Amino acid sequence: MVKAKKFVIAARFDGLPKVSDFQLVEEDTPELKNGDLLCETLFISVDPYMRPFGRSLKKGDTMIGEVVSRWVSMNYYVIESKSKKYPVGTTVLAGYGWRTHAVVHEDDKHPLPTAQLRAVPADFPKELSPGLLLGVTGMPGMTAYFGLIDVCQAKSGETAFVNAAAGAVGSLVGQIAKIKGCKVIGCAGTDDKVTWLRDLGFDYVFNYKTKSLGEELKKAAPEGIDCYFDNVGGDFSVSVLNNHMKDHGRVAVCGSISTYNNPEAKGHYFFETIITKRLKLQGFFGAEYQADWPAATTQVAKWIVEGKVKHKEHVTNGFDQTPQALIGVLTGKNTGKAIVKI
């Protein structure tokens, strides 16, 4: 039995979540039964989509509630086990929320396939941190990979544009697009992030907070955009769709972070534009490609080892700081993948 910590909801989110919306509580882990393993958390993933899924939570619910737990990703280390599948010392991935420790059964089934209890893949390069399985080779990485390759169907010689390009998803979208032979345009909200995107090899980057979106895209893509990977939504994307997409362009709708904390946001997609330009507009979840994750994870890891893909982690230290880490993601404080190191 271990004295564990977890976060529960203290107040329902109203706009941008606040630290006071979360309460840190302690609990004793139960005694292990056959097939159980006691896991100690090493890293916690914090991601923008936790905000919209948090709408279903009420006061007193834990961050391992059904909706959030199916989206929260964690990296655990087995410290005590009565499981033959996962002996002591095994590093595993699971989706059991904001906890320092968890007792799970080796055959537990999670509602979300990609959040199933599983060991780190045997072919995962030893020189890479398993924490990357929460980022560039995990859910954000798979979202970037399949969103660009399957949804946008990016081809050599095309022009691709990604917003929120310095985040965990956007930064990989741009790099994969370059590997595929595209001209890549990206935007971010600080000059430091713009500099990093140039270092990653983006062809054209700009700070959308200090530059005109319309003017910059006209300069970067005077003939228009073929592939648009959208993490932002709202009025930003209305402008891109109306004014900068080529006929028969493809749009991967990944997120809408500009509207998550603003219930009165009025931005929307103009259906006339979608019709007149014959655009392909598709929303998607990276999780729906779960059957193809192993091969894609191997490919992205290979690109990292070969130096074709670079990554950055925005690390917050300490379990107690997990709410602050999530708020930081929702306000653009992170560059690259945001994780909490316990």
pLDDT of 65 above 60: no
Q: What is the distance between the alpha carbons of residues 270 and 238, in angstroms, rounded to a whole number?
A: 7
Q: Please state, in angstroms and rounded to a whole number, the distance separating the CA atoms of residues 201 and 174.
A: 8
What's the confidence (pLDDT) of residue 178?
A: 98
Listed residue (52, 118, 107, 120) closest to 259, CA to CA:
52
Burial 156-171 (b: 16+ CB within 10 A, else e): eebbbbbbbbbbbbbb
Over residues 13-36, mean pLDDT: 92
Nearest to 138 by CA among 169, 102, 109: 169
Sorting pLDDT into bands at 50, 70 and 90, what band is 331? Answer: very high
Residue 159 scores a pLDDT above 80: yes
Residue 273 has pLDDT above 80, yes or no: no
Instruction: State the pLDDT at residue 270.
Output: 63
- Asked if residue 69 has pLDDT above 50, the reply is no
Distance from C-alpha of 300 to C-alpha of 137, rounded to nearest angstrom: 6
In the block, residue with structure tokens 């945001």: 338
Residue 130 amino acid letter: P
- On the question of pLDDT at 113 being above 70, the answer is no
Minimum mean pLDDT range among 29-38, 269-278, 297-306: 269-278
**pTM of the predicted structure, to 2 decimals:** 0.89
| 34-43, 44-53, 123-132, 262-271: segment of lowest average pLDDT | 262-271
Reply yes or no on whether the pLDDT at 64 is more than 50. no
pLDDT at 188: 97
Q: Is the pLDDT of residue 114 over 50?
A: yes
Q: Is the confidence at residue 176, as pLDDT, over 80?
A: yes
Mean pLDDT across the chain: 88
* Rounded average pLDDT over 202-221: 98
Highest mean pLDDT among 5-14, 17-26, 67-76, 126-135: 17-26
Residue 59 pLDDT exceeds 90: no
pLDDT beyond 60 at 25: yes
H-assigned helices in the chain: 50-53, 66-69, 139-146, 168-179, 191-200, 213-220, 234-243, 257-260, 271-276, 293-306, 322-330
Per-residue confidence at 58, pLDDT binned at 50, 70, 90?
A: confident
Q: Is the pLDDT of residue 275 over 80?
A: no
